[in-house]
Copies of this chain bind each other. A is one copy, B any other.
C-alpha cells in the first residue's frame, strides 16, 4: 500500500512527519514524500528541510494521500500543481486526508464540498467559508475523507487511519512503537483549555480572520 504525503514550501514539518512516523510503522505500507520537484522542501520556520523523493507526476495512484498544513498553504488555494494533483489522485485513493490548514487546500480544491471536517483551531471560520461544515473534533472521518486539527493532531488521525487500513492491533503496535502515551506538562493544547488571554492573543495575531461577533 502506498501513502503519499505532499510537501510544499513553508509547510509545517510536524504536520507531515507525525503521520509519516505512524504510518511507516505499518507492515507493507510505503510512505512516499512527494513534491513538485525532487529534493529538499523547506518548512515554515526555515530551519527544517525535508526531501521529496518523488514528484507529483511520479506518484499518480497512491492508495492514501495526505496534505499537511502551514503558512505556505495560502499558495495552493487556486488551481496549480499541488491542488491539481490532489484532485487527480483523489479519483482513485482509498483515503484522502488533510492535517491542520492542509484541510483548507482540500476544501479549496472542492474535495470536501458539503462534508464535515476539522482543521487548525484558528482556521475553522475559513473552512466554513469554503463550504465545509467545521467540527470541533481532534479528527473527523467523512466518507473517505480524513481531516485533523492542528499540527500534532496528525498523529492521532494517522493512528485512527492505521486502524482502518491495517486493523486495531496494527494501529496499537504502531502506537506502542512510537511510545505515544502523551503527557503534556500543561493543558493548553486547545482553545477550550488554554488560558483565555493566550487564546485572545493568538487570535489577534492570526493570519485568519476572527469569527464574526
- Residues of B with C-beta under 8 A to A195: 169, 172
Copies of chain A in the complex: 2
> Quick check: is A17 within 8 A (CB to CB) of the other chain?
yes
- CB–CB A181/B185 < 8 A: no
Total interface residues in chain A, CB < 8 Å: 62
- Residues of B with C-beta under 8 A to A168: 186
- CB–CB A21/B12 < 8 A: yes
- Residues of B with C-beta under 8 A to A153: 179, 181
- CB–CB A21/B189 < 8 A: no
> Quick check: is A110 within 8 A (CB to CB) of the other chain?
no
- Chain A stretch 30-46: residues in CB contact (< 8 A) with chain B: 30-33, 40, 45
> Quick check: is A152 within 8 A (CB to CB) of the other chain?
yes
- CB–CB A152/B178 < 8 A: yes
- Chain A stretch 113-161: residues in CB contact (< 8 A) with chain B: 120-121, 138, 149-153, 155-156, 159-160
User: How far is it, in angstroms, between the C-alpha of A30 and the C-alpha of B193 when the chains are bound?
Assistant: 28
Nearest Cβ distance between residue A38 and chain B, in whole angstroms? 11
- CB–CB B175/A189 < 8 A: yes
User: How far is it, in angstroms, between the C-alpha of A21 and the C-alpha of B182 when the chains are bound?
Assistant: 16
- Residues of B with C-beta under 8 A to A30: 47
- Could you tell me which A residues sit within 8 Å of B by CB distance? 12-14, 17-18, 20-21, 24, 30-33, 40, 45, 47-51, 53, 100, 120-121, 138, 149-153, 155-156, 159-160, 163, 168-169, 171-173, 175-186, 188-191, 193-195, 198-199, 201-202
Contacts A120-B179, A172-B188, A179-B190 known; 11 new A-B pairs at CB < 8 A: A12-B21, A17-B48, A40-B51, A50-B50, A150-B178, A153-B179, A156-B185, A175-B188, A175-B189, A176-B188, A181-B193
